[in-house]
Amino acid sequence: MITIIEIKARSSNQDKVRDILKGEGADFKGLDIQTDTYFRVPHGRLKLREGNIENNLIHYDRPDQTGPKQSSVLLYRSEPGSNLKAILMKSLGVLVVVEKKREIYYIKNIKFHIDTVAGLGEFIEIEAIDEDGSIGSERLQEQCEQYLDKFYIDKKDLIDCSYSDLILNI
């Protein structure tokens, strides 16, 4: 199980965030065009991410709260073109589909997303990731808050739920 502390916020300054990341030597992984299909499940969230960079089946539990949130994540790397999506659609049913353009950057264990989400607008995500339990939640929290300040993200722009929830509430 992977532990992630995440911050998601609306953004009107994506160029400034890009410049800060480049100035800090962030590793740019590329632009991913992603479709996240969320399935109906009794507990947590289950989504199939299909992209040109990332392809994963992801189950996660995360509270809906403003600011940094801790997630417990199970990840399965999926193969594009497999029958996995059809099986999940037939057995569970689709809750909602989220389409986005995502720029992916890394600085050590911290993953940054600069997102443009269809129907919702522009966002920034910060994910401090502990894959093996060696970092701890407190340090992950500190890392997220450090970049919250560096990116000049206003508290009023923080999002307390997933893109899927935002789309469902349109």
What are the counts of helices (DSSP H) followed by strands (DSSP E) for the chain?
4, 8
CA–CA separation, 128 and 113 (whole Å): 12
- 76: containing domain: 2-168
Domain of 8, CATH number, reads 2.40.320.10
Tens digits of residue pLDDT in 35-90: 999 999 999 999 999 999 999 999 998 877 777 788 889 999 999 989 999 999 99
In the chain, the number of structural domains is: 1
What does the pLDDT look like over 121-136, one tens digit per residue? 999 999 999 999 899 9
